[in-house]
Structure 1
Amino acid sequence: MLLSCTEGEDQLQDPPHLAMLEIEELENQELLFTALASNFAKLAISEYGFIYGEGSQLNLSEDFVVQRFGKPSEQFSLSPIHYMERGKEYYVSAYVKAGSETYQSEPTPFVGKGLAAFALDHIEMPDPLYFGDTVRFFGKNVFPLIDKYLASINKVEAEVVEVEKDYFSILIPYMKLSNKVDDDYVFDFHVFADTKATVVQQKVNFREPVFEQGAIQKVDFGEWINIRGQYFGIDDIVPEVDGKSLGYGNVTQTDSSISIRINFNLSSDTPSIVLPIRGGNYMLEQFAQLNPSYLLPNQEYVGYGNQNFLIKGVNLNATNLLITDHAQFNVESEDLYVFASNGEIDLNYSKEFEISPRVSKLYLNNLGELGDNYVQVHLQDAVLGHSRIPTTMGFLTSKTSKAVGIGKNGFVFSEDKIVKIDIESRTFQQVKTLPASFVGYSTTFAQFAENKLIYVGYLSADGSLTRFVEYNPVTNSYVILPDVPSRAVRPAFVYSHGDFVYIEGGIGVKGVREADFVEESFKYNTKTKSWINLNRVFKNNEYSGPWHSFVYNGILMIGGGFAEPWDDGRAGMKVMSFNAQHETWEDFQFEDLGAMGDFEGFQFINGKFMNYSERYVTGLDLVSGKSFTVDNFPRNNISGMRFNTGFAANEKYYFISTGGILYEADPVYFLIDYYDI
C-alpha cells in the first residue's frame, strides 16, 4: 500500500511494509499465521491481525478475521478461529489499522485443514435455569454448520439452536433430573461437531416451582383436584395428602398443572398437600375439601360373613370410613373388608376378618362426625371369631389346659394360671396365680359342682404326682385340697352330684401313646374334704375319649363316644342317666353315627348333645330322639381347634384355636340335618 508524504518529509525514508512470512500447521489440525511488519514505528497502530476467506479479494468487513488490539511486534502470529473445510483453497492477508487507514499484505493461498477442537472460554446461562432456556458456550474454533451438531445433556438429546463466530447455544430439553450435588444439579453437556467431542460438566441452579392459589376446590369422592402453576417439570411427583402417599393412577401432571384424585377419606376440612418436586417438599394448604358422605336410610342385611353386602350411599369413601357400634370391630382394625365406589360400598366380613360381631350397626365417619343413618348387618354363620387372645396368654392354646363355662364367663386352668374370659366384654384376665409348684403340671379335669365351686385336678409330667384345687369364681379364691388319688391324665368320666365330685377311669401318661388304662373310680366329698374309693373297675375299652356331664330335665346325664357293639371302625354316641341311689349309669339314648371322626368337644346346649371335632359336628337331639349333623360348621376354615379348652356359656359353645382366636359357635344358627339310623 502506498503512503502519502507531506512537504519536507524525508523522501528517502522506506515505506511501511507488511508481508505474510509463514503458514504453519500445528498439532490438532491447527494453523498458525505469521506476518512481518516493518517501517511502522511512526504510525499509531491500534489493531492488527489476519483476514482470511475463500477468494483472493479479502475484505475486513466481509471475511473471517482474527485480530488483536494494540501495536504488534515486527513479527506477529495468530491462529484462525473459524471453520475452514478440509482440502479447500483459501487466502490469507495480514493487516494493521492505524487511524482510519488499513494496511494489508498481498494475499497468500493455503489449503484448509478442517477445524481444531473447540476450546471453551466461558459459559453464559440464566440464573436460575429452567427447561427451554439456552446455554451459550463461548470459545474459539466454533464449528459453523448448525445442522452438523449432535448434543446431549445428561444423556438426553438436546438441540443446538444458534451458532456464531465465537459461541454456540444449546436449548435445555425437558428431562428427569437426578444428578444433584448439595443444592445444585449437575449437567453433563456432550457436544459432537466435525468429528470432535466437547464434554463439559456444569453446576446449575434450577428454578423453583411456582403455585397459583385459588379457591378451595370441593370435590366428591373419586374426583380430581387441580393444582396450577409453573415450573413443575416432568419428574414423577408422588404427592402426600394428609400424610398418605398417592399411588399409580391417582396423579397426572404437566409442566404447569398437577391433578390429584381424592379416592380416600380426608382427615380434616383443610387437608395438607405435600408435593415433592426436585428434592424440595412444597406444602399446600386449603386447596381441597371432600364433600360430606352419608348412607341411605333403612338398610338391613341378613347373610353370611363370606358374602358381599352392597351398602348404598352418596359420595362414599373407600377406607377408614365405616364405624360399627362395637369398638373392637371398626374398619381401622381391619376386621371388615370394604371396596367403595362413589355410590356404594361392597362390604365383606370374611376377606380380612378374624373376629366379627353377630349383629352390628355400621355408621359413616365423616371427619369424626357420625351420620344419623346406619346399616344393620346380621350374620348367620354357625361359627364367628369372638375375640383375640392376648399375646401374653399363648398358654391358653395348650393341650394341657381345661376350661369351665359359668353363666356368661369362661374360666381356663393352665398350670399355675387361672384366666377369666368375659364373653360380653370380650376380655381376658388372669385372675389368680397358683403356687410355683404347679408349673409343669397338666390340668386333667375342671368340674363345676353343685355347690357353685370349681374342682380342678392336676398331674405331673411323668404321671407320678397329682394336685387338687377348689376354686371359688365369685370370691376369686382357691383352696389346695388332698391330692387326687387317680393318676389318669385324661379321666373318662368326671361329674358332680350332690356333695360329691366323681372321677372314673381314663388313661395314664403312657396311655397317650400306648395302652395304660386307669381302672379305678373315686369320689370326693366336698363337705368332709376327703376322697372315697368306689371299689369298682371302670371298663375303658367301652368308651372313646373323655365324656361330658350335664343336667337335662333335672336329671344328671353323661354322654360321649361309645365303641361297642361295632368293631369295624365306626363310632357311636351315647347318653346315659345317673342313678343316684346306686351311683351307676343307665342307657338313655344311643345312635350309630358312622365314621364321624374323633370325639373331642362334647357340649350340651338347648336339648342337644353335640360333639365338635375338626371335621364334623354331630349330635343327639334328646327332645326328638334323633341324631343329626351340622352342615354349616366351618370345619377346615379354622386352624388347630383346641376343644380341651372348649366351654359352654351364655347358651353358646366357645373354643380356642392355635391361631390365638376364641371362636363362638351358636346352635341357633346351626343348619341341622336330622337322619334316622
Structure 2
Amino acid sequence: MKKHLHHLATILILHLFGCVNPELTPRTNPRFSVAFIQEIDESGAQFAANVYDFGSEEILEYGFLYSTHWNPRPPYAEELKQTGKPEKYFVLKAEHSMAKGEIYYVVAYVKTLSGVVYSEPHRFVSKGAVGFIFEKFDYAQPVFFGDTVDVYGENLSSVIANYKVTFQGEEARVIEVQKHFFKFIIPDFQNFDRYSEPDVFRISMEIVDKEMEMNVLMPFREPEFAEMAIQQIDYRGTVEILGDYLVDPNLVVTLSPQPSEYPIRGTVTLVSADRNKIVFKPNPVYAGEENVVELEIRGKKYNLGSGVFTYNPTEIDPGQHIVTRYGDQFSITGKNINYAAPYYHKGVLNGKTYEINYEQSNSETLSLRFVTQGYLFDRINEFRIQTFANVSQNSATIELTDPDIPFLRKPIPSIALAEYLQYGNMTSFEGKGYALGNKEIFEVDVASRSMTPLRALQLGTYRLSFTFSAAHGENWYLGGGQTTDLNPSNRAFFVFNLRSGEIRRLPDLPLDQRNPMLVHVVNEHLYVEGGHTPERGEDHRQRYKFDIRSEKWVRLPDKEEGRMVVGRTVPFTFNGRHLAFGEPDGTGDEHSGLFEFDLTTERWNLVKRFSDIGRVGVKTDEVFIVGNKAVLMGIEIFVLDLESMEMSQVTNLSHPSYLTCEFLRVMAFMANGKIYAWDCNETFWEIDPERFDNW
C-alpha cells in the first residue's frame, strides 16, 4: 500500500474562549490542531494531531470526528476516541464509514470537565474503508412485530443516519448505535412467503457504502387462539376469533362448508382484525351444516375446525294459515331465512322432507311454490322449514284450494304402473278403487294410501289391453280386449267379486272385437253393444245380452248405424234411470249426448246433445255422480246438472295432463265423494268436485 504524506501549509491554531467564574487562578483551554492525514487507502485513513497546550483542566477524552459535513459535530459525525490525557502528538485510524470518492472533513477534539474543545476542520478525499464486519444477531425468541433485534459486529458507524435496514423488504427503524452493536425494530411487514421455508426472512443492512443481505432463520411468534364456546349466529351475522398475536395485514379466512372436499376462498368478508381479535362475516351462499374455519396468518395455515360457529335455525312465525293454489307462489314469514341461498332450506310437509321450489326471499320472508317433484299433499298441510339438520319448531298451515292435488305416488316401487294400467279398466267399491291392468287386478286403498296386487286373470297371453268392465253390486265383470297371441282378440270373460276377492271365468264372449264401445248392466243382464273388429277396426254393430243368472249369451238386433268416430259410451244410473253419455247407436259424427235406456225395446233414446264435450266423449269407465251432478272426464272435465241439464267446463284444475296423457282412456275411480285419477306415470291425483269453480 502506497502511503501519502500531506504536510500542512499552515498550522491551524484554534484559540478557544469560554466564560469562567472569577477565581484566583485563571482557567486555560487546551490548544491543538490536526497535524496531517496520512495512509488514505481502501482500508481507511489515519489522522494525527499536535497538542500545543494541555490547558489547566483535566483531560477526560480525546480523538477525532469526521463527516461529509464541513463542520463535523455529534450526532452526524463518526467518532474516534481514547480516554485519558493524550501525548503531545496522537494518531488514530478510521476504518469505517467512509465511502470511496467522497469528500470528508475531520476535526480533533479534547474533552475536559468544562466541555469539549474542537480544532478547525480539515478536508480530504476518501478512498474507502474496511467498514462494517458482521458477527451475529441477538434477539428474544420467538420474534414479533415491534420486537428489537441486536446486530453485533465491528467497525460500526456511530451515526444513526448512516444505517439503513430492511426486513422482508420493509424498512426497519434503527433505534440505537453502540461501538459493537446496533438495534433495529422489526417492522410491520406484509410479505410472509407461504411458498418458502417457514420463519426464514430476508434482512438487508447498509452502513454507509457497505451493504449485506442475508436470509435469516428467525422463529416468528405463532398466533394464540383463546378457547371459546361455539358461536350461534344468524345468516349475515359475524363471527369473532379471540387470542393474541393474530395480526397480519394479509390475513386470509377460509370457510369449508361440510360436507365439502375443498376449502372455498371468498366465503367470508373480513370485518376487522387486530392483534387480539378477528371479526368476519360468513357468506351464507356457502353455508354448511358444519363450517370448518381455516386461517392463514403470516404465511401459515391454522385449521380451527368446525367448532367455531354454527347458524341459528330458521324459524317460522307462529299462527300462519295460508290459502293457495297448487303451483302458485306463496310466502312464509319467519326469522333468520337464508335469502342469499334459499335453496339450503327444505320444506317439511306433513312430516316428510322435500325440496323447495323457491322464488325469492329476504331475511324474514321465503316465497315458494309447490311443484310435483314426486311429493304428495293433503288439502290441509302442516309445513315446517328444515335447514340442514334443524327443523323449525313452529309450523304454518297451508290449505290448497285446487280441485286436484297429487295423492299417491309410486305405490308399488317394484313395478312401473305404465306397464300395466295404460289401456286397462277401473271401478269404485266401498271407498276403494280396483284396476285391471295387463291381466293383473289391483286394489287402491285411499285410507292407507296404498296399492296392492290381488289376483290375475288366468290367461296364457303375455299382454292384455282394451278390455271392458262393468260393475254390478259387488261383482265386476271383465272381458274382451286385445292380446299378444296370433289371434289378437280375447274372448275370455270373468267375474271378480270385489268383496271376497274371488275370480271366476264365465262363458266366453260370442264375438271377436278389438275395442268395446258400450258395456252396461241392467236388471241382471249385461249388454255388449258394438265394438271394433280385429281386422279393419270398424264397428261390427253387433249387440249381445248376457243373462247373469243363467250365464248364457243371447244375440240382440244389431245397431242401426256403426260408429265412425273413436270413442266410448259410458253408462251410469241416476234416480233409477239407466243413462249413458256418448253415442250408443249413431255414427258419432254429431256431438256426444245424454241417452236413456228403454227397458222395453232395449234401445237408447236421446235426452240431449252437448257440443262442449266433443265427439270423443267420456274416457273413464264410470260417470261419477255427486248429488244431482255428473262429473264427465274427457279431454277436459265437465259438470252436468242432471236436473237442469246444464253443462259447464271445469277451468281451475292444477294438473289437467292426467286427462290427456292417454288419448282413449283415463284410469279413475271414486271414493268418499272424491275422484282419483292416474297420470299415466306413477301418481294418482285426488280430485275434489266440491272445489270445482263451476260447482
The answer, yes or no, to whether TM exceeds 0.5 is: yes
- Paired with 2:215 and 2:569, the residues of 1 have a C-alpha distance of 90
Paired amino acid for 1:536: D
Q: Say yes or no: does 1:334 pair with 2:358.
A: no
Aligned runs of 1:101-140 on 2, under 5 Å? none
Q: Any idea what SS the aligned residue of 1:576 has?
A: strand
- Paired with 1:507 and 1:405, the residues of 2 have a C-alpha distance of 26
Give the match for residue 213 of structure 1.
228
Give the match for residue 384 of structure 1.
405
- For residues 83-121 of structure 1, the C-alpha deviation after alignment (integer angstroms, 9 at most, x for no partner) is 978x8799xxxxxxxxxxxxxxxx997699xx9xxx9x9
Give the match for residue 464 of structure 1.
488
Q: Say yes or no: does 1:621 pair with 2:612.
A: no
Give the match for residue 478 of structure 1.
503
Q: Any idea what SS the aligned residue of 2:667 has?
A: strand
- For residues 26-73 of structure 1, the C-alpha deviation after alignment (integer angstroms, 9 at most, x for no partner) is xxxxxxx9xxxxxxxxxxxxxxxxxx9999xxxxxx989xxxxxxxxx
Deviation, 1:558, is 1.8
Give the match for residue 229 of structure 1.
242
Q: Say yes or no: does 1:489 pair with 2:514.
A: yes
Q: Say yes or no: does 1:550 pair with 2:563.
A: no
Q: Say yes or no: does 1:257 pair with 2:283.
A: no
- Paired with 2:560 and 2:163, the residues of 1 have a C-alpha distance of 108
Give the match for residue 275 of structure 1.
293
Paired amino acid for 2:608: Q
Report if the CA contact (8 A) 1:334-1:353 is conserved. Answer: no
Deviation, 1:339, is 7.0
Paired amino acid for 1:464: P
Report if the CA contact (8 A) 1:450-1:498 is conserved. Answer: no
Aligned runs of 1:182-581 on 2, under 5 Å? 207=222, 210-213=225-228, 224=237, 226-230=239-243, 231=246, 234-238=251-255, 240=257, 253-255=271-273, 256-259=277-280, 274-278=292-296, 280-284=303-307, 295-296=318-319, 300-309=321-330, 326-327=350-351, 330=352, 332-334=353-355, 346=367, 348-350=369-371, 355-362=376-383, 375-390=396-411, 391-396=413-418, 399-432=422-455, 437-461=460-484, 464-466=488-490, 467-508=492-533, 515-529=537-551, 531-534=553-556, 536-537=558-559, 539-541=561-563, 544-560=566-582, 572-581=591-600
Report if the CA contact (8 A) 1:322-1:363 is conserved. Answer: yes
Q: Say yes or no: does 1:604 pair with 2:615.
A: no
Q: Which has the larger radius of gyration?
A: 2
- Paired with 2:493 and 2:96, the residues of 1 have a C-alpha distance of 110
Give the match for residue 83 of structure 2.
none
Kindly tell me: are residues 618 and 125 of structure 1, through their superposed partners in 2, closer, same or farther at Cα, counting changes over 3 Å? Answer: farther
- Paired with 1:594 and 1:370, the residues of 2 have a C-alpha distance of 49
- Paired with 1:429 and 1:190, the residues of 2 have a C-alpha distance of 83
Q: Any idea what SS the aligned residue of 1:668 has?
A: helix
Deviation, 1:145, is 11
Give the match for residue 26 of structure 1.
none
Deviation, 1:247, is 11
Report if the CA contact (8 A) 2:592-2:615 is conserved. Answer: no
- For residues 628-648 of structure 1, the C-alpha deviation after alignment (integer angstroms, 9 at most, x for no partner) is 222223466769634432333
Paired amino acid for 1:474: R
Deviation, 1:649, is 3.0
Deviation, 1:576, is 1.6
- Paired with 2:215 and 2:509, the residues of 1 have a C-alpha distance of 93
Report if the CA contact (8 A) 1:335-1:355 is conserved. Answer: no
Give the match for residue 587 of structure 1.
606
Paired amino acid for 2:241: R
Paired amino acid for 2:693: L
- Paired with 1:379 and 1:146, the residues of 2 have a C-alpha distance of 86
- Residue range with higher mean Cα deviation, 299-308 or 485-494: 299-308
Kindly tell me: are residues 427 and 134 of structure 1, through their superposed partners in 2, closer, same or farther at Cα, counting changes over 3 Å? Answer: farther
Deviation, 1:516, is 3.9
Deviation, 1:493, is 0.9
Deviation, 1:566, is 8.7
Deviation, 1:553, is 1.2
Report if the CA contact (8 A) 2:326-2:400 is conserved. Answer: yes
Kindly tell me: are residues 573 and 620 of structure 1, through their superposed partners in 2, closer, same or farther at Cα, counting changes over 3 Å? Answer: farther
Deviation, 1:625, is 0.9
- Paired with 2:480 and 2:687, the residues of 1 have a C-alpha distance of 27
Q: Which runs of 5+ in 2 are unaligned?
A: 4-37, 44-65, 70-76, 80-94, 105-123, 154-159, 176-180, 297-301
Q: Any idea what SS the aligned residue of 2:644 has?
A: coil
Give the match for residue 679 of structure 2.
657
- Paired with 2:218 and 2:679, the residues of 1 have a C-alpha distance of 64
- Paired with 2:466 and 2:691, the residues of 1 have a C-alpha distance of 32
Deviation, 1:464, is 2.1
Give the TM-score normalised by the residue count of structure 2: 0.60
Deviation, 1:376, is 4.1
Deviation, 1:663, is 1.6
- Paired with 2:240 and 2:685, the residues of 1 have a C-alpha distance of 51
Deviation, 1:666, is 1.9
Aligned runs of 1:664-675 on 2, under 5 Å? 664-672=686-694
- Paired with 2:503 and 2:565, the residues of 1 have a C-alpha distance of 33
Q: Any idea what SS the aligned residue of 2:228 has?
A: coil
Deviation, 1:589, is 2.7
- Paired with 2:538 and 2:128, the residues of 1 have a C-alpha distance of 116
- Paired with 1:198 and 1:262, the residues of 2 have a C-alpha distance of 43
Kindly tell me: are residues 612 and 109 of structure 1, through their superposed partners in 2, closer, same or farther at Cα, counting changes over 3 Å? Answer: same
- Paired with 1:672 and 1:591, the residues of 2 have a C-alpha distance of 17
- Paired with 1:262 and 1:277, the residues of 2 have a C-alpha distance of 16
- Paired with 1:291 and 1:172, the residues of 2 have a C-alpha distance of 43
Kindly tell me: are residues 452 and 303 of structure 1, through their superposed partners in 2, closer, same or farther at Cα, counting changes over 3 Å? Answer: same
Kindly tell me: are residues 486 and 162 of structure 1, through their superposed partners in 2, closer, same or farther at Cα, counting changes over 3 Å? Answer: farther
Candidates 615, 627, 650, aligned match of 1:630: 650
Q: Any idea what SS the aligned residue of 1:501 has?
A: strand
- For residues 142-200 of structure 1, the C-alpha deviation after alignment (integer angstroms, 9 at most, x for no partner) is xx999999998xxxxx634368999999867558x99679xx87999899999x99998
- For residues 290-344 of structure 1, the C-alpha deviation after alignment (integer angstroms, 9 at most, x for no partner) is 6986514xx54444234455556677898768755x44xx4x2237869776666
Q: Percent identity?
A: 15
Report if the CA contact (8 A) 1:217-1:225 is conserved. Answer: no
Deviation, 1:487, is 3.8
Report if the CA contact (8 A) 2:569-2:617 is conserved. Answer: no
- Residue range with higher mean Cα deviation, 644-653 or 663-672: 644-653
CA RMSD of aligned residues (A): 6.2
Q: Any idea what SS the aligned residue of 1:644 has?
A: coil
Q: Any idea what SS the aligned residue of 2:417 has?
A: helix
Paired amino acid for 1:429: T
Kindly tell me: are residues 139 and 411 of structure 1, through their superposed partners in 2, closer, same or farther at Cα, counting changes over 3 Å? Answer: farther
Report if the CA contact (8 A) 1:232-1:254 is conserved. Answer: no
Report if the CA contact (8 A) 2:254-2:264 is conserved. Answer: no
Kindly tell me: are residues 404 and 284 of structure 1, through their superposed partners in 2, closer, same or farther at Cα, counting changes over 3 Å? Answer: same
